[in-house]
Chains A and B, each alone.
Chain A
Amino acid sequence: MAEFSWEVRSPLERALVAGPFGTRGDAGVSLTEIRNFDLIQVMARRSKAAHMAEAAKGRFGVPAPDTPRAVDAADATLIWSGPDQFLVLSKSGKHAIEALGQAFAASASLSDQSHARVLISVSGTKARTMLAKLSSIDLHPDAFSIGAAAATSIDHTSVTLWRGTDGPDGQAVFNLLVLATFAESLWHTMLDAAAEYGVAIAHSEA
């Protein structure tokens, strides 16, 4: 039998080149891939939505979002992904699928998406201007405040988009999860859209 050596690596390993891109000078857009996270899809079983909400409150200490919102718990972010379902984004394995199984055993089905999505953080003074070229939803602070989330499409690709806590510079931070196999394509689309503003490209392990 053939022996395989599995190596964990980011779907953006080839496409992501850390450093400056596009127009020189101060970067208007920062694109950062966040690597090594746990992402669990939690979907209520039929007529168990209320039960699932209780289980989520017990596990995370905050109510799971039942409208398009991203809710920060102490050590996880709960992101609405559709009716009666949400994503649990965390790190260090604390809320990995094995850890969550017990809490939701009676109310929801879990699916491990940790290696099925890529997490990209978009920030900088021109972040919203750049995203406005690609997204049809209104990302103005009046319409898309901190904690707002959307299951939407960018460049014909399904993404989960939410606004995180503002960065230390006071600028809005947009996070998006994209299916792993579409990540490289979306990455190039975003680079093209952001090039005129100057881009700072990075990836973080945390």
Chain B
Amino acid sequence: MRIVCPFCGERELGEFTYLGDAKPARPAADAGEDAVFDYVYLRDNVAGAMSEHWYHSGGCRAWLKVTRNTLTHEISAVEPAAGAGAAKVGA
């Protein structure tokens, strides 16, 4: 598997580290215990297109948001995660 880093270009899997689901968003401070439990522990076991965080640890050290099909490993989109490369994200 290869990932096309938006900063470096196409690189082998060995340069990247997998973090996991990019969907969960931190709930508001007053959202309640169930929402926090869900955010911290509960994950969907997706069969199909999934949005994931990957870290280009062996390269430019940017966090990436990768859309990958968990059945085929086909990658349909790669973009910088929020905060990675301020110039590109505008963060």
> Which residues of chain B have C-beta atoms less than 8 A from A152's C-beta?
8, 11, 15, 58-59
Q: Counting CB contacts under 8 A, is B86 at the interface?
A: yes
> Which residues of chain A have C-beta atoms less than 8 A from B91's C-beta?
46-47
Interface centre among B7, B14, B84 (most CB of A within 10 A): B7
Contact assessment for A84 and B11 in the assembled complex, using a CB-CB cutoff below 8 Å: no
> Which residues of chain B have C-beta atoms less than 8 A from A125's C-beta?
none
Contact assessment for B60 and A83 in the assembled complex, using a CB-CB cutoff below 8 Å: yes
Given contacts A83-B62, A83-B80, A153-B14, contact A68 B8 (CB under 8 A): yes
Q: How far is the CA of A66 from the CA of B8 in the complex (A)?
A: 11
Contact assessment for B87 and A153 in the assembled complex, using a CB-CB cutoff below 8 Å: no
Chain B proximity mask over A177-196: 1 for CB below 8 Å, otherwise 0 = 00000000000000000000
Contact assessment for A68 and B58 in the assembled complex, using a CB-CB cutoff below 8 Å: no
Q: Counting CB contacts under 8 A, is B12 at the interface?
A: yes
Query: Helix, strand, loop or mixed for chain B's interface?
Result: loop
| Chain B interface residue count, Cβ-Cβ cutoff 8 angstroms | 20
Q: Counting CB contacts under 8 A, is B88 at the interface?
A: yes
> Which residues of chain A have C-beta atoms less than 8 A from B60's C-beta?
81-83, 151
Q: Counting CB contacts under 8 A, is B85 at the interface?
A: yes
Partner of B85, one of A50, A81, A83, A137: A83
| Chain A interface residue count, Cβ-Cβ cutoff 8 angstroms | 20
CB contact list, B49-91 vs A, under 8 A: 57-62, 80, 84-88, 91
**Least CB distance, B81 to chain A, in whole angstroms:** 11
Contact assessment for B88 and A83 in the assembled complex, using a CB-CB cutoff below 8 Å: yes
CB contact list, A33-60 vs B, under 8 A: 44, 46-50
Please name 20 pairs of A and B residues whose Cβ atoms are closer than 8 Å in the assembled complex, sorted by A: A46-B86, A47-B86, A68-B7, A68-B9, A82-B7, A82-B59, A82-B61, A82-B62, A83-B88, A84-B85, A136-B15, A150-B8, A150-B59, A151-B59, A151-B61, A152-B58, A152-B59, A153-B14, A158-B57, A158-B58
Chain B residues near A (Cβ < 8 Å):
7-9, 11-12, 14-15, 57-62, 80, 84-88, 91
